[in-house]
Amino acid sequence: MLETIINITLTAGKILLDGYTTPIKVDFKNTIDLVTEYDKKIELYLIGELKKNFPDKKIVSEEYNTDAGYDDRGSFFIDPIDGTTNFVHRFPFCSVSVGYISKDKRCGVVYNPILDELFFAETGKGAFCNRTEIRVSSENELINSLIATGFPYSIVDTDKRFLLDMLDAVLKNTRGIRRAGSASLDLCYVAKGVFDGYYESSLKPWDVAAGIVILEEAGGKVSGRFGDVFDLWSDFIVATNGHIQDKLLKVLNG
């Protein structure tokens, strides 16, 4: 299964790369949330290939949301371009993300074709970047940690002041923050040991499903905002190397 998903994702990445180097048509979902013809083109390709290879599995996707909810017999969560704004502005931090979750098996594949970084993992078999095994960092001091974050599109339309308060607190207690604009890649970079932690609110299951599998297989930890068990519909994600999890949670919650 994993190799099939990898091959499908690699081909989808070629479509993304084609769009990255050619003029594209851009539409708006709301004030600043973008969608392009390539989001739709890649998603339709992924849906078609996954249905052909795994006809009995549900598919939950960003643009077409073909199957609502989750089936513990197996569901795919796909994001055709995680980091669409980056894609539109030619900032090379965007990816194709495909996660598979069932009661007894999980797979995650995240591919950034611009930087040619392929992340993947399967339950109990470790996490990899371009076929080399990766592990989270060993940093256990928050003040020495580099943290990634993101902001929801809704921050423009609604009062999200608590996120700015969190940002201020994290800046004062860590080495620094990076806001690169792709949740799946943020999780993969924690898995790779580039970032020591990551937090964000208002994400969707397709944003994080694959990245969570990769991070946890690399030795990382994921929870909700208050240390609660994270599920794919949780409103807030906190993901770290595990060593700074409690310390980051404490700062985030004041």
The active-site residue, picked from 39, 43, 49, 62, is 62
Question: What is the signed CA dihedral for 128, 72, 227, 121, rounded to 10 degrees?
Answer: 0
| Active-site annotation holder among 43, 82, 196, 216 | 82
Query: Within its chain, how far is the Cα of 106 from the centroid?
Result: 15
The structure tokens 């894609």 sit at: 87
- Residues 9, 84, 149, 240: which is the catalytic one? 84
81 carries an active-site annotation: yes
Q: Given 63, 207, 216, 217, which residue is catalytic? A: 207
Q: Tokens 């594949």 map to which residue?
A: 109
Active site residue 79: yes
Phi-psi group of 111: left, alpha or beta (phi > 0 → left; psi -120 to 50 → alpha; rest → beta) = beta
The answer to whether the CB of 31 falls within 8 A of the CB of 93 is: no
Q: Which of 15, 47, 81, 244 is catalytic?
A: 81
CA distance 64 to 59: 10
Which of 79, 186, 200, 216 does the annotation list as catalytic?
79
User: In the numeric block, which tokens belong to residue 96?
Assistant: 């194709």
Residue numbers annotated as active site: 62, 79, 81-82, 84, 207
